[in-house]
Structure 1
Amino acid sequence: MLAGLAALAGACGPKEAVAPRPAAAAPPREAARVAHSGARREDLRLIPAEAYLRTYLRLFGGLTLAEAERRARGNDGAALFDAWQDYLAALGLPDYRLDLPRATQTNALMLAAFERLGIALCDRALEHDLKAKERVPIERRFIFAFDLPGQELDEAAFAPRFDVLHRTFLSYPARLAPPDREEKFFALYAGTVTRHRAKGAARSRFSPAEAGWAAVCYGLVRHPEFHLY
């Protein structure tokens, strides 16, 4: 009992103060230095043919393969677009009927198919967006979601319209592209317009300005960034 009272008295007494001791300073450590390498970690790869086809059909207005073929052929028959069966193997898809494996590298036939399909897309989109009898609202246009000015187009007026196409095909603003890209595409546009206005130029279904924008579209739809990742 006496032991219990002594313990109780000790518990109720003032707490003993313990003076803090300074912590030992940690030894200095040299900050880690990692050398930055600008070398590419992995080579660029060709996007799968299925991804290319999905993008192509979306740019054509979300059509099916059969609908896109009819629209691409238009009234010109096979002059601008043949048939999908002529392009699918060239794009890299396997053809098990002929024992053709999937193509994993580009070749001349594949590049020719990309070019033919790109021209068909740009020409038909331009006809739909800019040459329709009744003006197509901007939000319903496939590619050319802008209007052409009535006067001569300078580089300042070219820039926002080019940005629309750049975002459509390459998915990021033109201002983030290499600094000379816009300048080069404006030179392409201006050169095409000049050639179409020249005396003795071949007849075209497009006006000089329309032909200039078609050429810009050709350049973007065949750009390496559209086909590689």
Structure 2
Amino acid sequence: MTYTGEVRVGGPADVHELQELMISKVAVGPMDNNAYLLRCRATDEQLLIDAAADAATLLTLIGDDGIASVVTTHRHGDHWGALGEVVAATGARTYAGRYDAEGIPVATEVLVEDGDTVRVGRVPLTARHLVGHTPGSIALIYDDPHGHPHVFTGDCLFPGGVGNTRKDPAAFASLIDDVETKIFEPLPDEAWVYPGHGNDTTLGAERPHLPQWRARGW
């Protein structure tokens, strides 16, 4: 079946099958968060992005093979609600942005800097530090050698705009600057965006609206 990225709480995962990586997207409540399970096809190692909520659903998705690591995109509680349970059950290593780790109650073992490489098996993911939604939000980029890039943006980029900056002009300016310079400028229109909530999008679908987002201030 063709991947759409359209999932609902209580519904099945949607699986995006790439040549070297499998991406399973699931929605968990109570805030309709997206969690993403990445699996290296060569090694079967797995990595989870955002143990947001509903540990039972996430552990079922993970299955008997377990996970090597969990990356938390940012410090907001709806993105780490099940982190403690998932780590206790799997022994996974924890990753988060250096400047958000202090706001995550489960200890972060690897503090991620801008430009760092996070690996799942043989697959490298590049971390980009995006400041504004929180001080230390990170996005992860998989530059697929057989196709277009895939970008996991947490709450920093959605269909229709950047993440919530609470009507703080400085935070908004910081976030949209980082999203433009670190995501839109280096990556092509075909890059697929996997956000922390809701449906997926592409950079090509969102790029024409960047001036509008700047003008409205959110």
- Shorter-chain TM range is under 0.3
Give the TM-score taking structure 1 as reference length: 0.25
Which of the two has greater strand per residue?
A: 2
Q: Which has the larger radius of gyration?
A: 1
Which of the two has greater helix per residue?
A: 1
- Larger RCO (alpha carbons 8 Å, 6+ apart): 1
